Amino acid sequence: MSSSHSPYLACVAQAAPVYLDLAKSVDKAQTLIAQAAREGAKFIAFPEVWLPGYPWWIWLDDPSWADRQGLRQLFQEQALRANSDELAAIARSAADHGMHVLMGAAERDDERLYISQWLIDDAGQIRMHRRKLKPGPIELKVFSEGGHRDLAVVDTALGRIGALACAEHRHPLFKHALHLQHETLHVAAWPSFPLKNIPHMPSAQTFLALSRSYAFEGGCYVLAPCAPVTPDVVARLCDTPKKSDCLQAGGGYAQIFAPNGEPLCTPLPPTEEGLLYAQIDPQKSIAARQAFDLSGHSARSDVVRLQGPADLSAPAGSSGVTP
């Protein structure tokens, strides 16, 4: 049996970064990678914008407030750059511990910021670097959009791996583009769910349902990392009672879902940090698609078909994305 078809242990991080401190957060990431490796894991997934932490102030006040507090400038300075020493340090940890790592970060490219995800393999090589295609309306105050190349699934020794960030899981066509590429493992990265009393904000259970349905629809395992917000972050950002009513400590709801949509982990309390583990068997993903395959026998490409500017086609004879 090839390594890509062999079961392995994977984990999701329900852990907070050292808020707005890139160097210390990278140190913490390395500690968590080492901890997961000691427990026998071969893959670890981190939340969305884990480096250097999600900019929660965009939900709480006008951007001018963040400017006066120096938050926007600090966030820009602490964002992760490609080809940086910090990214190299994470890659070294992946190689040293024989781990695949999916890291979520705010990426700085010149003066632009992106919500990005890096997949690093167990040799320390970057296998995927993607940017969130469509940040939410509030996030667009800070982040730029990704492009058509950011819907990729890559072959690894652990199987075919893809990723999306947060509300990208509300886009049926984004999800379908990855389903067509035969993922065996998908990372559904979320930042945290600490926001309250904000109109039209879904609950954590609603967001978890998106991760769960992704697993069932795509016939793949879904790792859903999520970071709790710590009391010191709330104290730092909430200088009025109204803000304190909107941003609360906690919000960690990490989970791992099987290809049949069932949760595989006992959840941690929303305020608690830790790692959640589950056994991944790529053969079960293959079996799930034999029962229901959106890229093959369960598709109706003669009626509906996904088309885009990039060739993300599934194997010949299947329902794929066409240029």
Determine whether 246 is an active site residue: no
The closest of 124, 184, 174, 131 to 154, measured between CA atoms, is 184
| DSSP assignment of 70-138 | THHHHHHHHSB-TT-HHHHHHHHHHHHTT-EEEEEEEEEETTEEEEEEEEE-TTS-EEEEEE-SS--TT
Helix (H, G, I), strand (E, B) or coil at 162: strand
152, 308 contact by CB (below 8 A): no
Query: Residue 12's beta-bridge partner residues?
Result: 45, 276
Q: How many CA atoms lie within 13 A of 66 on its CB side?
A: 17
Determine whether 273 is an active site residue: no
Cis amide linkage into residue 52, ω under 30° from 0:
yes
264, 11 contact by CB (below 8 A): no
Helix (H, G, I), strand (E, B) or coil at 300: coil
Q: 41-45 and 112-120 as β-strands: parallel, antiparallel, unpaired?
A: unpaired
* From 28, 48, 168, 220, the catalytic residue: 48
Determine whether 86 is an active site residue: no
* From 28, 86, 107, 132, the catalytic residue: 132
Q: 8-14 and 185-189 as β-strands: parallel, antiparallel, unpaired?
A: unpaired
* From 28, 86, 107, 166, the catalytic residue: 166
* CA-atom Rg of the chain in angstroms: 19
Query: Residue 126's beta-bridge partner residues?
Result: 120
Dist. CA 106–CA 84, nearest whole Å: 13
Which residues does the annotation mark as catalytic? 48, 132, 166
